[in-house]
A and B are shown apart, each in its own frame.
Chain A
């Protein structure tokens, strides 16, 4: 069975193919029409017409369309009196003190927002859908020359009938338009978040649909099966389903990386890890618990709340290329400005003059002077020294101390990000491992693990293509939600079973032989936020919720009534577990050494080439492990070995 993952990043399109348990990789430049790069990657990997293969694909088409506001011209039909929900949002301003900063404009401007006379209330229909107003709204939408329409009526998550009527009228009048109903996209309460998610779904639908059609056609031409698409949740779905659920794809790329990290951790027998993907301009971190990526339904992407399940990825605008600077109060900062790839850090010798994190790593001896980075770039330590020298003079420090400072400040940013996805979620990082990847991740991992008292660091061999690996091994997944409001005490086992079975029946109609995971959104009566827990028998719901509340918030209230807000079913079609042969034994080469700075002192660190190492080989810090696409720094109190899966597992000694 051939499994192929293709991940589209900002610069490169990566491919990982698992052929009889062996990894084949390819890297090609990302193309404007991303599907061309996908085909180019298949060509580069020598994958021609093939039957019975699975291809999974992570794309940034939806993400970019949202970030650049290049989605479809979209109309909105909503309840009379509530035309401005998308614009008012939650009425909070962007910045407490910068009074001039405005909110990003809504995806649907006012002139494309239309209303119908109708009203549902929690108990049901209050005002029937008025035929004349529906007719007028449909005519107005038809005259507005739009490609997509979002239908967002109040309380449709409980009573979808009016939305269905409006949707049918629109589809009849505008057969070519993409119509998204809020009761279909996100049947959950809180109108702004539901409307916003639905508007995003409509706005992105035509763009993603067009892309998928081109992709399928190109794959057909090459004789490769149509790809499965990675959703923000970390599971994949077929293209036909994907085209109708565009808002589920805005974190397609980062989610694949988290799935890859989870797989690396699983193979090395770690179930709880934080993934740490540090690239050139930004860093993604995410929690993985019990082997599964943590998900959130509270994400805001490019100023647009999207309340669908997404890998809980937190991004900070700092990476290897981030520029260090000193403000007028004499404090050192790193980022958010980045030297990018061009001109890049000062040490690239391409005209960059500003000191970056990469330059600091070079000055401290972590990166090798004269090392070549794909193509014509050669790291120049003296250029890094010079760039940092100016900053150092400003700070009254010598350049080496300033370099250390840049790394320390960057690490403080990273540590804060890791705390947000752990301690703020009620997770204790001390019981987690850190999976470090991306061009700069393994450089900083040991220092971060020390800062957060984490015991283990995992550096995967395939760190440069981890997202593509995640795609190759991802499960097929769909999420189902059913809103309810009931006191847990009043539920009967048969009612709960019937409710779940109904959802599972519709999942079974969508997917072949799915496995189900039952979840429940619960809260204390009167609370307005829910916790999602795994749902067992009805009598275990409340105790399970008390425990989860205790873990997350440090207290629980065993005597309070617990309310059920929604039931969820995660349906997955698991991909068979990956059996990979160990990496081929490598030729031993003698280690070299170079001076690197640890804890304020220069030390001779052993320098090892990853290519020359095999499973079972041990590493003791201080040491530097040079890999194909990144460099791992092993601090003096750390050491470990390369395990049978090619992952370097480091522990504090």
Chain B
């Protein structure tokens, strides 16, 4: 039975549900241990209903957008009960890449009926595997990338399962940080459950359930209204990943965007098969990138829930780069290929919609590590220019929006020295409106260390639009000598690593 809600109750409850997700996110950020979550905010929080539908999400970075539902679906197959907390990171069963660990807590009424799920996802800066930081550029199988956690209980009936936690902590390089961060995720989930109970007490279970239905239906109406206004047609586009860490060969991603009435299809037929390296994407990652592209079309105030994505259908060929299967390595799919999928879809849509030129299209993942320490950073670059003006400089674009680690925090914590961190002037593409500039950042290691780079757009700059020029491609150097886009290296003390990130594409003829 469904209870129709009037527009007022809808607005009031929509704010309340979004507020719960936001509070969960705030608790997670504030109480987490590691800089990666607290300083860089590489995490998200969400509420799902009992059917596993996304109801509200406080996303801090878009790459978590589409992947949370998979985690809840995977947990729902494990007969979750009140008082349980599940942990999962398996990219082929609810995860995206191994460092993103998701905690799913069933939320129940006082009587013990599961009515919703509180979910947090955070990027943990080490989950074991072949390299410190668990972001190897040279993995060939997912098994090398770290500990794989299928959906299992971390807490059962309110009791923490020490054996499970011990197993996880025994497989990671920084167990204290992991324990603290997992605690923070649990604290955030329990805040979500508590707030939901309070809402039910105040508004009745029936009303809250009706609100779940209505906020989803509302977002779907808004989404369909936007899609319905786009000119019908098929809009194709192809873009490339520059190598998979094994070879430097271009890897094509093709999409055909079909707009028909108020729904749309993204068909990735023609995309490369899965590759031997680790730039493959499980479907959850592809979905996140597609949701991002759709979300860019929607006004900012459309709530983030399942309804917003209901009008979108995704076709991704099995065992392709964008729908990989075990045991394909996937760690860079989440952080690099996701960017290119979004770029490609947006390039297709730009034929029908006024969109910006391409942004840097990479997260410039840098992992350094040595005895007892692991440092992970992603670096902003140029955003594409648009009809509205120049592209912003030195920002994260697309699927990421993490903060940088302050130099003064970094040098206190790690044996590193930042020699330079400034904008790469003039790297944005020319045009009527200029693309944003990339960043040039040089870091010296003060002791021997390993380096993993997962970067892209080192050969081809981000494309301009409507006559604008491409932005400059990025560059990676060690002691001034170019190194590949995706590489693992042993560094000696005093070596200097320089990353120059790409500029954004220009818009319109100069």
Contacts and interface: CB of A to CB of B under 8 A. Distances in A.
Interface stretch (B24-32, B72-80, B141-149, B236-244): B24-32
A90 to B, nearest CB: 4
B388 A100 contact: yes
A494 interface: no
A173 interface: no
Given A93-B396, A98-B300, A99-B296, A81 B419 contact: yes
Interface stretch (B48-56, B398-406, B485-493): B398-406
Given A121-B417, A526-B33, A88 B412 contact: no
Interface stretch (B218-226, B251-259, B264-272, B473-481): B218-226
Interface residues of A, number: 68
B301 A327 contact: yes
Nearest to A419: B19
B422 interface: yes
A120 to B, nearest CB: 10
Contacts of B359: 99
A555 B387 CA distance: 49
A332 B301 CA distance: 12
A330 interface: yes
B167 interface: no
B110 interface: no
B21 to A, nearest CB: 12
A361 to B, nearest CB: 15
A240 interface: no
Nearest to B346: A99
Contacts of B7: 326, 330-332, 395, 397, 405
Interface string A64-108: 000000000000000001111101111111111111111100000
Nearest to B419: A81
Contacts, number: 208
B210 to A, nearest CB: 14
Given A87-B393, A122-B411, A555-B187, A92 B300 contact: no
Interface in B388-425: 388-390, 392-397, 401-404, 406-409, 411-412, 417-423
A553 interface: yes
B412 A554 contact: no
Given A88-B439, A189-B408, A409-B8, A524 B180 contact: yes
A103 to B, nearest CB: 6
A266 interface: no
Contacts of A527: 33, 38, 180
A332 B8 contact: yes
B62 interface: yes
B396 A553 contact: no
A85 to B, nearest CB: 7
B168 interface: no
A611 interface: no
B407 A99 contact: no
Contact of A91 (B202, B390, B404, B422): B404
A526 B181 CA distance: 11
B16 interface: yes
Interface string A553-570: 111010010000000000
B319 interface: no
Interface string A591-618: 0000000000000000000000000000
Given A97-B295, A329-B218, A409-B11, A553 B27 contact: yes
Given A155-B408, A416-B15, A524-B33, A88 B421 contact: yes
| Chain B interface size range | 35 or more
Contact of B12 (A155, A189, A408, A524): A408
Given A122-B412, A331-B218, A553 B439 contact: no
B222 A190 contact: no
B448 interface: no
Contact of A97 (B300, B380, B395): B300
A485 interface: yes
A191 interface: yes
A554 B406 CA distance: 27
A157 B359 CA distance: 36
A404 interface: yes
B35 interface: yes
Contacts of A190: 406, 408-409
Nearest to A157: B408
> What DSSP secondary structure best describes chain A's contact surface?
loop
Contact of A84 (B176, B295, B394): B394
A424 B26 contact: yes
Contact of A103 (B222, B392, B404, B423): B392
A412 B15 contact: yes
Contacts of B23: 419, 423-424
A536 to B, nearest CB: 24
B213 interface: no
B421 to A, nearest CB: 6
A190 B439 CA distance: 19
A207 interface: no
B395 A93 contact: yes
Contacts of A395: 6-8
A376 interface: no
A66 B397 CA distance: 28
Nearest to B16: A412
Contacts of A555: 31, 183, 187
Given A100-B389, A102-B390, A419-B19, A526 B222 contact: no
Given A97-B296, A405-B6, A413 B15 contact: yes
Interface of B: 6-8, 10-12, 14-16, 19, 23, 26-27, 30-31, 33-35, 38-39, 41, 59, 61-62, 176-177, 180, 183-184, 187, 190-191, 195, 202, 218-219, 221-222, 225, 292, 295-296, 298, 300-302, 355-356, 359, 379-380, 383-384, 386-390, 392-397, 401-404, 406-409, 411-412, 417-423, 439, 442
23 contacts: A81-B422, A88-B394, A91-B395, A96-B59, A96-B295, A97-B300, A99-B397, A122-B412, A155-B408, A191-B407, A193-B406, A331-B10, A409-B11, A409-B12, A409-B15, A412-B12, A419-B23, A424-B27, A451-B202, A526-B177, A552-B30, A552-B31, A555-B183
Task: Pick the 7 closest A-B CB pairs, nearest first.
Answer: A405-B8, A91-B380, A553-B31, A81-B420, A90-B403, A88-B394, A100-B388
